[in-house]
Structure 1
Amino acid sequence: MKIKNPSYDIIALSSSLICAIHCAAVPIVLSFSSLASLHFLHHPLIEWSFILIGIVFVFVSLWPSYKKVHHSSRPLSLVALGFGLIALGRLDFNEIWEVLNTVSGAILVSAAHYVNWKLLRSVKEHEH
């Protein structure tokens, strides 16, 4: 059984990049006093929603692609490292620690979906 729709990776890649931008920009935006009313953007519910969406896409896209199509562990390794960094960012040392680890982790999760998408395309091209 082939993975017919690699658009899950495009959606996941986009959501991971949005997460990285969100995590990098919110501390900067909140530092401006006139934008302090946007503090709701730094709410844990929003942050955990991004994380849960990312985990869902691992099981919807990366795992089935690995098992059924390309058998390359590179996307899974990248996503594991990415979520590991995001988890390290949850340790409350300081804000810079959180931002650096979370943004780096989100970029790695996005890279995992990009690599997966490229692998799916290369398998599809070899089939024709």
Structure 2
Amino acid sequence: MKIKNQTFDIIALTSSFICAIHCAAVPILLSFPSLSSLHFLHNPLIEWSFIGLGVVFVFVSLWPSYKKVHRKSGPLLIAALGFGTIALGRLDFSGTWEVVHTVFGAIMVAVAHFINWKLLRFRGGHKH
């Protein structure tokens, strides 16, 4: 289970950072007239796919790691705060509000997976 969860954490960490970069870069890119053809990147389906993928990775990596290996709730709490921050960004106050909260939330989810990955490595390194 350790190897599989570490792989899931690396994939989840990477997808969360890609989500953060996507959410930060797309509004900037679309502000340039020469890049307006990239408008398809600002698609709710892409955004919800990243969010859904993030939730799936919580259930296939963070939760089993917590239950079966390290019993540290930190990664779960950080991921929950990250998704809560993303949800706050969904409130339609302004474009800047959405970008800031979504990027920060995605980074928090990535950090949760990084911490989980480190906990799994630490545990794996001390078991013989």
- Range of TM-score over shorter length: over 0.9
Aligned residues with identical type, % of pairs? 69
Offset of residue 4 of structure 1: 3.5
Gaps of 5+ in 2: none
* Match in the other structure for 2:71: 71
**Over residues 67-122 of structure 1, what are the superposed CA-to-partner deviations in whole Å (9 max), with x where a residue is unaligned?**
00000000001000000000000011000100000000000000000000000001
Aligned counterparts of 1:14 and 1:4: Cα–Cα separation in 2 = 17
Aligned counterparts of 2:71 and 2:86: Cα–Cα separation in 1 = 25
Post-superposition, which runs of at least 4 consecutive aligned residues in structure 1 deviate over 3 A? Answer: none
* 1:26 and 1:41 in contact (8 A); partners too: yes
Aligned counterparts of 2:54 and 2:25: Cα–Cα separation in 1 = 19
Q: Residue type matched to 2:70 in 1?
A: H
Cα-Cα RMSD: 0.7
TM-score, normalising length: structure 2: 0.97
Aligned counterparts of 2:99 and 2:21: Cα–Cα separation in 1 = 10
* 2:2 and 2:124 in contact (8 A); partners too: no
Gaps of 5+ in 1: none
Aligned counterparts of 2:93 and 2:42: Cα–Cα separation in 1 = 17
Offset of residue 15 of structure 1: 0.2
Aligned counterparts of 1:39 and 1:21: Cα–Cα separation in 2 = 16
